[in-house]
Structure 1
Amino acid sequence: MGLFERELEAAELRKELRSLREGGRAVTVTGDAGSGKTALLAAVLGPEPTGLTGDASTTGPRVLRGLCDPLGTPRPLGPIRDLLGRRSTSDVTSDVEARLLELVGPEPTAVIIEDAQWIDAASVEALRFLVRRIERLPLLLVITYRDADVSLGHALLPLLGEIARSEHATQITLGPLSAEAVRAIVGDSGLDADRVHELTGGNPFFVTEIARHPGERLPPTVRDAVIASTFGLARDDIELLQLIAAAPDALDDRLLPHLHIDVPTLRRLESTGLLVRTRRGVAFRHELARLAIVEGTAAGTRRMHHAAILEAFVALGSSDHAVPRTTPSQPATRTPASVTRGWPLRTRRGRDRTPRRSPSSRWPWRGSSRRSRREPSCSSS
C-alpha cells in the first residue's frame, strides 16, 4: 500500500547515503513494532537479502543485513554471522573485528542490523568497534530497534551510548500515522478512518491490516502478532495481562498492589511491548492490541477479571462513580453489593439486563447509530 508519512525520514536516510564517500555514518531507526522500520529501509535501500549476496550496484552501495531473532537466549554473534555468511561461531569469534573491517573494505557499504532489541552482547561489542572507527570507513551502519523495549540494563545500551557520543551519527524516529494518512490508506473501503486511527493509535501495520480485511472483526494477522508478543510469559503473567486488558482505558496504578501486580511482574509484562505507562495508569499501547488479548480470554475469566478490578476499587475506598460504567453489565456474583447497587443495568431482583448487540456491533469496523465505548465501531455511516 506504499509508504505513508515517511518522506522526511526517507530523505534523511538518502542524505546519509549520499555522504558515504566523505566518511562513514551511523544511523539509528527507532519506533514501535509495526511502525514501518523495515518498510522505510526497503524503500531507500531495497529489499536485499542478508549476508554477502547483497552486492554493490551501479546506483548505490552494497547492502548487507544482519538479523537479531526473538530467542530466549540470543544466538551468539547472530547478526554478525549473517553479515559474514557463516553458519557456525567457530570461524567467526576469532578476530571478528578484523573480519568486519575486511568485509567493509574500500567499497561503499550499508550494513543494516535489524531488530536490535534482541541483540546479543558479543555483537554489541563488535559493532562498537566499527562505530569508533566509522569516520574512516565508507560505511553506513543502520541499527533498527524498538525503543520501548530497551530499558536500563539492556544489552543494546553500550552500543547506543557509543553512537550517541559520535559526531557521525543520526537518529530517525518513526511516529504514528496521522488521521489524514489513515484516511488515505483506508480509501473507499467503507471504514470510519477516524475510528480506525483511534483504535490503532496510527500504527501502520495495524492500519494496513484493517484496510486489507475490512469485513473481519479482528484481522488474524493482527491477532497473531499480538499473541506472539506474549511468548515466553508464564501462565500466571498471561492471566495478569488479560486482567489489565479488562480495563478499557488504563489500570489505575493504585490498584496494582490489590491485584498482586508487583514491580518485577510489571517489568515482565512490559517486556512484551504491549503495555505503556500513562498518567492514568498501566494501559495497552494500542487499543487494537487490547482487543486481541480480550478476545483470547474466556468469557467466564473476563467476568472474574472485572469483578477483581471492582473489588480492588472498593478496597481502595474509591468513590469514583464512573467505575461501574467502565465494566461490563454482568459482574460476577461475588462482586460487592456496594458496587452492584450502583450498576445502571441491574434490576431490583439482581438479574442482569444486558442489551443485545446489533449485528453491526459484532465487527469493530462496522458501526451503528449508537457507539459503545467497549464495542467501538470503525465503519462510516
Structure 2
Amino acid sequence: MDLLERETVLQDLAGHLTAATSGPGRVALVRGEAGIGKTTVVEHLVELADPYVRVLVGACDPLATPRPLGPLMDLAPDLGEAVGTALRGAVAGAGHPGEVFECLLADLSGRPSLLVIEDVHWADEATTDLLSYLARRLPTVPALVVATYRDDEIGRTHPLTMLLGTLAGYRWVSRHTLNPLSRGAVARLATGHAIDVEDLYRVSAGNPFLVTEILATPAGSLPVTVREAVAGRMGGLSGPARNITDVLAVLGHRAHCSL
C-alpha cells in the first residue's frame, strides 16, 4: 500500500529512532482504527533503520487465551540467551516475569535497537506489565520501543487504558495518531480505476484498507476481505450492540445518538 498522508508521522518516528539509539531511549505510541495503516508505517520505519540498529518486531494476537509474553516468544531467537532462558522459565511457571523484564532491559542496553510490539490492545497482562516496566527505564538504554494499538477498541477499564495513563507522565513517550485519508489521497489511490471517487471516499470513510480492497475488487462487488473483517469485528460485540449496528447499516453512514 502506498504511504499517503503518513509522511509526517514516519518522519517523526525516524527522528525518535535516531535520537533513541544514540541514547536516551524513547517510547512511541502509534494509534488508529483497524486498517488505518499502522503496520505499513512500522514497515517503512524498519526500512529506514540504520544497519547497526537491531530490529525486533513482535505482535499480540486476538486469542481467547493470550499467550503469556507472546511478542517476546516470537522474538526469542533474536534476543540474548539470558532472555530466552528467563522467558522459558516464566512460561513454564518455573520463573517470574520480572526476571524476563530485567534480562530484556539488560539485552537492550548492549546494542542500539528498535523494538516494535504491534496490536497491544490484544496484549496479555504480562506484556502490558512489560511495557510499563520498559517505559519507565528506557532513558537508560539505546532503544526505541514502538507500540501500535487500535484506540477505538479500548474502553475506560481496558488494561491498556490504565497503562496509557501511567505513560502520560513520561516526557520521553510520544504519541502519533493515524487519521483517515483525505478525498485527495483516496483520489490518488483510485487513479487508473473506473470508479466514482466521491462514492469510494464515502463508502470507505478514508480507511486505507477499505479503499485498496474495494479498488482490487470488480465493480459492484463487496470484497470478501472487507465482509470478513466487518463480520469478525461484529462477532466480538454483545447482542444489543449487534442489533444497533444492524439498524445503523440500514440508516446510513451516520446517525445521531438520540435516534
Q: TM-score, with normalisation over the residues of structure 2?
A: 0.86
| Amino acid in the other structure paired with 2:102 | A
Secondary structure at 2:234 match in 1: coil
CA contact under 8 A between 2:56 and 2:116: conserved in structure 1? yes
How far apart are the structure 2 equivalents of 1:170 and 1:163?
Answer: 9
Matches within 5 A, 1:68-217: 68-85=60-77, 89-90=91-92, 93-94=96-97, 95-217=99-221
CA contact under 8 A between 2:23 and 2:143: conserved in structure 1? no
CA contact under 8 A between 1:121 and 1:156: conserved in structure 2? no
| Amino acid in the other structure paired with 2:31 | T
Number of residues of Structure 1 aligned to a counterpart in Structure 2: 246
CA contact under 8 A between 1:189 and 1:214: conserved in structure 2? no
Determine what percentage of the aligned residue pairs are the same residue: 36
Q: Unpaired segments of 5 or more residues in structure 1?
A: 48-56, 256-381
1:43 is aligned to 44
| Amino acid in the other structure paired with 2:224 | P
CA contact under 8 A between 2:17 and 2:143: conserved in structure 1? no
Secondary structure at 1:144 match in 2: strand
Cα drift, residue 203 of structure 1: 0.4
1:330 is aligned to none
Cα drift, residue 250 of structure 1: 3.9
How far apart are the structure 1 equivalents of 2:241 and 2:165?
Answer: 32
How far apart are the structure 2 equivalents of 1:120 and 1:140?
Answer: 21
2:12 is aligned to 12
Cα drift, residue 61 of structure 1: 1.4
Question: Structure 1 residues 203 and 177 mapped into 2: Cα distance closer, same or farther (>3 Å)?
Answer: same
CA contact under 8 A between 1:97 and 1:126: conserved in structure 2? yes
Question: Structure 1 residues 251 and 182 mapped into 2: Cα distance closer, same or farther (>3 Å)?
Answer: closer
1:65 to 2:57 alignment: yes
1:226 is aligned to 230
Q: TM-score, with normalisation over the residues of structure 1?
A: 0.60
Show CA shifts across 1:118-163 (max 9, x none). Answer: 1122211122111111111111010100111121111112321232
Question: Structure 1 residues 59 and 187 mapped into 2: Cα distance closer, same or farther (>3 Å)?
Answer: same
Structure whose residues are more often helix by fraction: 2
1:23 is aligned to 24
Secondary structure at 1:69 match in 2: coil
Show CA shifts across 1:35-81 (max 9, x none). Answer: 0000001011149xxxxxxxxx8625111122111123333222233
CA contact under 8 A between 1:72 and 1:232: conserved in structure 2? no
How far apart are the structure 2 equivalents of 1:220 and 1:60?
Answer: 41
Question: Structure 1 residues 179 and 107 mapped into 2: Cα distance closer, same or farther (>3 Å)?
Answer: same
Question: Structure 1 residues 92 and 81 mapped into 2: Cα distance closer, same or farther (>3 Å)?
Answer: farther
Question: Structure 1 residues 237 and 5 mapped into 2: Cα distance closer, same or farther (>3 Å)?
Answer: closer
